[in-house]
Copies of this chain bind each other. A is one copy, B any other.
Amino acid sequence: MVPASTLVSGSVGTVETRYLDLPDPVRLDCGRDLHPVRVAYETYGTLSPRRDNVVLVCHALSGDAHAAGVSTVRPETGTRDGFGAEDRDGASGQALGWWDGMIGPGKAFDTDRFFVVSTNLLGGCRGTTGPSSTDPATGRPYGSDFPVVTVADMVRTQRAFLDVLGIERLAAVAGGSLGGMQALEWAILYPDQVDSIVVIASTPALHPQGMAWNAIARESIMRDPDWQGGHYYGTGRTPDAGMGVARMVGHVTYLSAPALHEKFGRRLQFADDIRYTITEPEFEVESYLRHQADSFVRRFDANTYLTMSRALTYFDLARQYGDGSLTRALDGVAARTLLITFSSDWLYPPSGSEEIDAALRALGKPSELHLIDAPYGHDCFLLEEQRQTPIVRRFLAAG
């Protein structure tokens, strides 16, 4: 870890993403063995001599290993979903980590106490092996030949990565959205190695409307002729048009209707009146969506989007581990569980966290559920740092 900068209060300072090659193939749910697998990661804080202060932080669909601090290597890194996505990129071209508000000295995941580890997920496009990596069988990028991976596959990859670092136990696994799914999966797959999980704005299984939004985003990418069946690398063409639409859909689902109303209303781009155009944005909200799409396609790979979206759609604890029963699926969990959910999150609504809490309680397991009344929808897990911080700090202090 790079020493904390004095420039940013509570910051872990300037950081750099590092890379590690796993020694063994990763066995995947689909039956394939994947090798080689490289993992991009960052760490913040200091590993204790007893190696008992490790917090694994897991990112969501469009995240990466750069969770905290300032990265000067790739200035486009670390923009976040939702409002303020641009705010994290300073004029200097530096980029703050996607959860910088939650990770650092004195923050929710306190780097004065914890050794925080963040990896780019399997299937990613930010340094960890994914569809844009070279397929050893062909010498060319995998493209759509990359295996279809699950959240469990991501977690097994994290497990193998931590093995190399010599870390057996985790004081906590934490994440929002798809990141929360990984925390849950950790608690089930490795019950003896996880002391606690922090599951934010997540669910035991995406509801059908959320599945529909994800399906639409994938369709939009795959219907773009520039997707080329997934083999677009090196062709000079990428499915930016379809990815842009996918991002717009995602973006609206990450926010709430009242948040869009508050931010844009029905304000016109040009104040006086409408200009009778279909091809150009007339309203601020239309212009904003187009901007979000344009900036996203510059930093993200379409096949990784498909991979992540498929994994989070498959994720279903009751189906995977409980023969349809969530309670049965959670029967082996030994970790203490903290659940945080947001009133305006309609993509991962509070009911999902409530189901997990109810199942854990029915099993007599320690679970704590906090519903935060906040207006910004699913993006709250990235934005409501102030209100999450005391909850997370108290939960981790009790560990």
Contact = CB atoms under 8 A, between A and B. Distances in A.
B220 A245 contact: yes
Interface stretch (A59-67, A176-184, A306-314): A306-314
B281 A215 contact: yes
Interface stretch (A167-175, A189-197, A204-212, A366-374): A204-212
A274 interface: yes
A276 B29 contact: yes
B265 A242 contact: no
A216 B148 contact: no
A29 to B, nearest CB: 7
Interface residues of A, number: 58
Contacts of A307: 278
A283 B206 CA distance: 12
Contact of A261 (B207, B220, B319): B207
Contact of A289 (B212, B224, B241, B255): B212
A144 to B, nearest CB: 7
Interface in A233-261: 241-242, 244-245, 248-249, 252, 255, 257, 260-261
Contacts of A249: 216, 249
Contact of A225 (B213, B219, B225): B225
B213 A252 contact: yes
Contacts of A213: 252
Interface of A: 29-30, 144, 147-148, 205-209, 211-213, 215-216, 218-220, 222-225, 241-242, 244-245, 248-249, 252, 255, 257, 260-261, 263-266, 274, 276-279, 281-283, 285-286, 289-290, 293, 306-307, 310, 313-314, 316, 319, 346
